[in-house]
Structure 1
Amino acid sequence: MKNMILTITLNPTIDKSTSVEKIAPESKLRCAAMKHEPGGGGINVSKALKKLGSDSKTLFPAGGYNGLMLKHLLHEEHIEAEVIPVEKETRENFIVLETSTNKQYRFNLPGEPTSIPLLEKVIEYIQNNPFEYIIASGSLLPGMTDDTYAQIAKVAASMGAKFILDTSGPALEAAVNEGIYLLKPNIGELAKLSGIQWLEADGVEAAARKLIDQGKVTLVAVSMGAAGALLISKDASYKVLAPEVEKRSTVGAGDSMVAGMVYMLSQGKTLEEVIRFGVACGTAATMNHGTELFYKEDAERLFQTMKVESYQV
């Protein structure tokens, strides 16, 4: 029997967030108490799914004191974790909100390369533990090759799993050639996948459908910021506008969108509901400070108010 959902984070982090009235050089800044949260793409998706009442398993490498903290924080949130031990320290990110301007400053640190055969261990775990949905989100650990997600996509397909990917750069371009169930690029990433420098909004649908027609992707969800998002399948297109809210943070908004879409897919909902709820969760995440993601009641309220433009091909 297959498990339902696996999330994969190859470069996890401890997200540390605080706030200060004003950021100034060479001054002693009086900050609010530091908040520590487990972070990284796939981990954020699992956290968001938990908020929606859906369990998942999250797979990631971890090492050092930060690795221990990461496992502890996930345990506190009742998220089931499968940890691949590595010898290097898990990285940290640092987020500061300047309260006088409501501007957010994000300091993302690199992870450290590992000598552990990380990809092989990820593939072995997938082969021994079948899942219906496998979600890979975020950057690669330094030292991992550009075809890392492509190899995961290939083994996911061999196990009959629906592979969902949210990443960027050469790793994204390589993975698309192996076949992906749901891809979530922004317009710039979609342009690169199409071999062009830039896409206008009216060219997004055609570019996404080209990937589908080539057999590389089944569904493409293109995030367009304040303009909302497009979900394109072989037979139809769905456009939803992002509702207007007071934005406090964009941290985790993309992962929240992915979680909302996967939640609806796992519930057997229509594609129209899938994209509406994805945008609702992503938008709701921007309403909170730091790395808090969203509140379920905010996502559900936004979901009810949103409309979708759709048409069949």
Structure 2
Amino acid sequence: MPGIVTVTMNPALDITTSTSMVVPTSKVRCGEPRRDPGGGGLNVARVLRVLGASATAVFPSGGHIGRAIEDLVATEGVAMRSLTIRGSTRESLTINETETGLQYRFVLPGPRMTSMEQAAFLDLVTEAASEASYVVVSGSLPPGVPDDFYQHVADVVGELGARVVVDTSGPALRQLRGGVFLVKPSIRELREWTGRKLQVVDDQVAGARELIVRGVCAVVVLSLGAEGALLVTRHQEEYFPSIDVPVVSGVGAGDSMVAGMVYGLAHRWSLSDSVRYGVSAGAAMLQTPGTALCRLEDVKRFYSELTDGSAPTRSSGSSAPAVRRADR
């Protein structure tokens, strides 16, 4: 199987706990916490291992929190390459409110990386990706890192011959100029990127294809949240409904979707089947508590049901977008 490398510029120690009710100015007594290594690329690498693929996670690590993340990653059996930095790696906190079913997520900005640390990290990515076929760049950028850092990663990785998959947001996403194989924006992010409302599906397809024509990427997988996903290439467009599952936690669902897609692509599946597997992995992640990983048996079951048309989808009985597969 081709080598896969994931890049996480802003990892986090994800802490998940629960309480009956979040009340301002009062002490909120919480239950037993769960701690997991987090950040986009780390989550992708962890889910890939669940799916049966191996990936090397590359990330900066600072202070005792960074060392704790390294220990957790090693315990899960995920290969890693870390760069020690001066600042302390961040923590993120998720609190599930048991009385209401609401979930609160507190995300910190991360450590400030110096220019020397950024250069050393780019060298580490280059070394790790030297024999990779896919490099997944996922998550936010920490303070001090320029918005076009992921474009520099794409430039370096492209020269090595690997395909780059990007899942980020904000300026880091909008600074992409080219050399990317696949991007996975949300509908909100695509609206910000194109400067248009994109309220109907034809406009969404056109907006995604605009990025392809401009040479930013070859494939756009547009996340529509509860409405599903759109796959757009220069000559193809296809809609995938989301799977109707009871939502326990939304943490990591997008990362799980990316992992599923990259798993399929690395196994030389078609784009359609790869996206279908990604949708299945994302749905499976929604069923797990907090930052717990998805279960392989759920992913396989959802994929089988999506493939044969028996999956309970959110668009069942409603007005699903009328998007066709096309060769134009």
Provide TM-score, normalisation by structure 2.
0.91
Do structure 1's residue 37 and structure 2's residue 36 form an aligned pair? yes
Matched, 1:121 2:120: yes
Map of 1:248 onto structure 2: 248
Shift of 1:125: 2.5
* 8 Å CA contact 2:114, 2:144 repeated in 1: no
1:140 aligned onto 2:141: yes
Report SS of the residue matched to 2:274: helix
Count of aligned pairs: 310
Q: Distance in 1 between matches of 2:104 and 2:60?
A: 26
Question: What secondary structure does 1:84 align onto?
Answer: strand
Residues 286, 293 of structure 1: 8 Å contact kept: no
Moved more, 232-241 or 300-309: 300-309
In 2: Cα distance, 1:81 partner to 1:116 partner: 22
Q: Which moved more, 1:228-237 or 1:253-262?
A: 228-237
Q: Secondary structure at the match of 1:73?
A: helix
Look up the SS of the partner of 1:289 in the other structure.
coil
Q: Is residue 253–residue 286 contact of structure 1 (8 Å, CA) maintained in 2?
A: yes
SS in 2 for 1:54: coil
2:75 matched to 1:60? Answer: no
Distance 1:29 1:123, change over 3 A: closer
Which consecutive residues of structure 2, in runs of 5 or more, have no partner in the other structure?
Answer: 310-323
Identity of aligned residues (%): 37
Q: Does 1:311 align with 2:326?
A: yes
Indicate whether 1:259 and 2:259 are aligned.
yes
Alignment check: 8 A CA contact 2:58 2:125 kept: no
**Is the 1:18–1:95 Cα contact (8 Å) retained in structure 2?**
yes
- Give the equivalent residue in structure 2 for 1:239: 239
Q: Distance in 1 between matches of 2:74 and 2:108?
A: 24
**Structure 2 Cα separation of the partners of residues 58 and 241 of structure 1:** 30
Q: Aligned residue for 2:165?
A: 164
Where does 1:39-118 land on structure 2 (aligned, <5 Å)? 39-115=38-114, 117-118=116-117
2:20 alignment counterpart:
21
1:269 aligns with 2:269: yes
Residue equivalent to 1:12 = 11
The secondary structure found in structure 1 opposite 2:175 is helix
Contact map agreement 1:46 1:259 (CA 8 A) in 2: yes
In the alignment, structure 1 residue 189 sits paired with structure 2 residue 189:
yes
Partner residue, 1:229: 229
Q: Give the drift of 1:179.
A: 2.5
**Of 231-240 and 220-229, the range deviating more from structure 2:** 231-240
**Cα distance between partner residues in 2 of 1:100 and 1:139:** 32
| 1:116 to partner: Cα distance | 5.8
Which secondary structure does the structure 2 equivalent of 1:311 belong to? coil
Give the Cα–Cα distance (whole angstroms) in 2 for the partners of residues 100 and 37 of structure 1: 24
Q: Counterpart of 2:316?
A: none
Q: List alignment gaps of at least 5 residues for structure 1.
A: none
**1:199-214 alignment, distance < 5 Å:** 199-202=198-201, 203-214=203-214
- The Cα offsets for residues 232-252 of structure 1, whole Å up to 9 and x where unpaired, read as 122211211001111111110
Letter of the structure 2 residue corresponding to residue 293 of structure 1:
L
Question: Equivalents in 2 of 1:116, 1:216: separation in Å?
Answer: 26
Shift of 1:21: 1.6
Deviates more, 1:59-68 or 1:231-240: 231-240
Is the Cα contact below 8 Å between 2:9 and 2:142 reproduced in 1? yes
CA contact (8 A) 2:21 2:98 kept: yes
1:59-106 deviation line (CA, Å, top 9, x unaligned): 000111101100000010001110100011110000000011111000
Q: Distance in 1 between matches of 2:283 and 2:16?
A: 20
Alpha-carbon distance in 2 for matches of 1:118, 1:255: 25
Deviation sequence 1:28-55 (CA, Å, 0-9, x none):
4332101110000000000110100100
SS in 1 for 2:191: helix
Structure 1 CA distance for aligned equivalents of residues 144 and 266 of structure 2 = 34
How high is the TM-score relative to the length of structure 1? 0.95
Question: Counterparts of 1:26 and 1:46 in 2: how far apart (Å)?
Answer: 38
- How far does residue 27 in structure 1 lie from its aligned partner after superposition? 3.4
The CA distance in 2 between the partners of 1:85 and 1:135, in whole Å, is 21
> Kindly tell me: are residues 201 and 303 of structure 1, through their superposed partners in 2, closer, same or farther at Cα, counting changes over 3 Å?
farther
Match of 1:300, SS state, is helix
User: Which shows bigger deviation, 71-80 or 235-244?
Assistant: 235-244
Partner of 1:306, secondary structure, is helix
Contact 1:188 1:199 in 2 (8 A): no
Q: Distance in 1 between matches of 2:188 and 2:254?
A: 15
- Partner of 1:132, secondary structure, is strand
Cα distance between partner residues in 1 of 2:88 and 2:37: 14
